[in-house]
Amino acid sequence: MSDTNSLYIQGQIESSYLRKLRPAHYDEELRDGCLQGTRKDTVTEITARLASRSETSNIIWLYGVAGCGKSALASTVAQFFRNLHQLGSFVFFKRDDASNSDVVGVVHHIAHRIAESNTHVRKALCDALAADATLTDADYRTQFQKLLVEPLTAAAPYICGPVVIVIDALDEYLHPPSRKALISLIASDMAKLPPPFRLLVTSRPDMDIVRAFRSGPHIASQQVEIGTEDATKDILLYLRQRIDTRCRDRQVAKSDWPAEGDIQLLAAYTGGLFVWASTAYKFMLELDRPSMNQILEAEKTISKNLDPMYSLALDHAGDWTYTDFALPALSVLASVVLIKEPLTEEVMTALLNDRAVRQVLDCLGCVLQWGPSTPVRALHPSFCDYLTDPKRSGARPWFLDAKIQSQFLTTRCLQLLTSKLRFNICDLSASHVKNSDIFDLADRIRQDIPDDLAYAAQHWAYHLCAVDSSDEVLFELDKFFQNSFLHWLEVLSLLGHVGGASEAMAAAEKFAQGKNPHLATFLQNGIKLIGIHAPAIAESMPQVYVSALATDPRRSGIMAKYMMQFQFDVPLAQKWSILLKAPVAEI
């Protein structure tokens, strides 16, 4: 066999092992770095420290207040080492994105990315996966040791270094107890990585992160300073470049507004907060000339607090005394701040059942990031904090009472499920096929399970957990389980989220206790049913009926409730093709 064929076969074998990993996904191309010419001294200092070998520390912790530009710095540093082919991995978190909430997924991502770019690491990693077929099912510390520490140590003699791993916005990883585990893993265990490997970690100075990172002798900390003369100069350059770029893109001559003096004053007001500058710039574009003075006369302490800017922006967004604006605006803000996963304008409209969403988003464009078919996000996490803190916005009409808004979101999710779920929602034609064997399942899901229905099916219980008590929610909860329980399990099976069913039902059972004993009992039996049949349902959607319902004891109440929809005089599997075409009876 030729050397070329041998290398090809070896590459295919290694690729098959790497596919066993479940790396988290990060859209690196969506991250904006520092504008050219800004933060030069800080970037130079950080890159120099990462490039130099240190016997005492292999982690640099870059911390600072919200909006000081940590993420832009992290992206710039990552790009610097990427250009040198020395970037091992770039990991970042967003508080409104739950997709990367698994510590193991983070470990897999880092291991996978480094292995992609280094043959020695790839071989050591594949050897570890070949030696233990169950390794990817082990606890996260074992996987960290076997998939990162040992392969990197084995490959270290062949690596000149540095190989830099960038972890940005650690404070936005908000999934306890995973948060505690990830902070500990980075602050303590990452010190075990061999000398060629260096880490840059950025975060706000949250107390749990401060405690973990300031106690490690192997961690060098660096604060992103704000309010300095250099920071103000950088923001001034940022504002000028933004305005010049806008004029160039629109092929218009630069006007005398804003005047250079206004720009300089605006830069001075930022106090070194780039998020203030970006928010002010975006808001400035939406105001007429006389309103520019309102920005320039904002609170002089805005360098420490974005609240005046948010208040000014929201106050100009619409007439909050007008119910037809205020109510949908609060619903939209709640759907940004309290949502489990960010929603697009289209999904938000369907979930809220409000055609005013698009109009409201247009009004809130100065504080929300959004576009066609892209998720709606707050410009910065501090905006979410501001809206939900009664001490900061409690007297304002846009204050979000988390309990009230969570009640509304829970109700909407349950109503959506009850109205849209149906038997055999994807119109499958056989009862014996696994989900993985349905060649066009992804197309069927896109066609028959819209994103708003998928969100409601997966996350209604997340919002329910924030509700103390509500007769309206209890009514919708009872209606949902009495009519759509099995159809909900169908959707969870097709979406690959059966694992969350028991937890969701447990939350519902807790909510119903003492208020609706019949529903609580129904849910207790449903939890038992899921506990027995979850593996089968997860593998094949029809098992909701073939396995779970057909074998459920009549006394549980579940079979009795759904008996009028199905006839079980012969084994259900033999009648499946008929059932698939049968109309669903009202219960």
For residues 553-562, give the mean pLDDT. Answer: 59
- Parallel/antiparallel/unpaired status of strands 219-223 and 59-63: parallel
> What are the pLDDT digits (tens) for 12-69?
566 666 777 766 666 666 677 877 778 888 899 999 999 987 767 889 999 887 677 8
Choice among 221-225, 313-317, 471-475, 477-481 with the minimum mean pLDDT: 313-317
293: left (phi over 0), alpha (psi -120 to 50) or beta: alpha
- Asked if 489 contacts 498 with a C-beta cutoff of 8 angstroms, the reply is yes
Rounded distance between C-alpha atoms, residue 417 and residue 485, angstroms: 10
Note the pLDDT of residue 565: 59
Q: How confident is the model at residue 300 (pLDDT cuts 50, 70, 90)?
A: very low
Q: Is the pLDDT of residue 571 over 50?
A: no
> What are the pLDDT digits (tens) for 66-89?
677 888 899 999 999 999 999 999
Q: How confident is the model at residue 575 (pLDDT cuts 50, 70, 90)?
A: very low
| Residue 241 tokens, joined | 């470049």
- Asked if 208 contacts 176 with a C-beta cutoff of 8 angstroms, the reply is no
| Residue 499 tokens, joined | 């694992």
- Tell which wins on pLDDT, 408 or 233: 408
User: What's the whole-number average pLDDT of the chain?
Assistant: 81
Rounded distance between C-alpha atoms, residue 139 and residue 185, angstroms: 12
Q: How confident is the model at residue 390 (pLDDT cuts 50, 70, 90)?
A: very high
Q: Is the pLDDT of residue 343 over 90?
A: yes
For residues 185-211, give the mean pLDDT. Answer: 88
> What are the pLDDT digits (tens) for 111-141?
888 888 888 888 888 888 888 888 888 999 9
Note the pLDDT of residue 130: 85
Run of H or E including 321: none
Rounded distance between C-alpha atoms, residue 29 and residue 110, angstroms: 17
Give me the percent of the chain exceeding a pLDDT of 70. Answer: 79
Note the pLDDT of residue 134: 87
Rounded (10°) angle between helices 323-337 and 345-352: 120
Q: How confident is the model at residue 165 (pLDDT cuts 50, 70, 90)?
A: very high
Q: Is the pLDDT of residue 167 over 50?
A: yes
Q: Is the pLDDT of residue 467 over 90?
A: yes
Smallest Cα–Cα separation from 273: which of 204, 206, 370? 204
Rounded (10°) angle between helices 471-495 and 441-448: 160
> What are the pLDDT digits (tens) for 223-261?
887 767 777 788 888 888 777 776 666 655 566 566 777
Smallest Cα–Cα separation from 496: which of 527, 539, 455, 528? 539
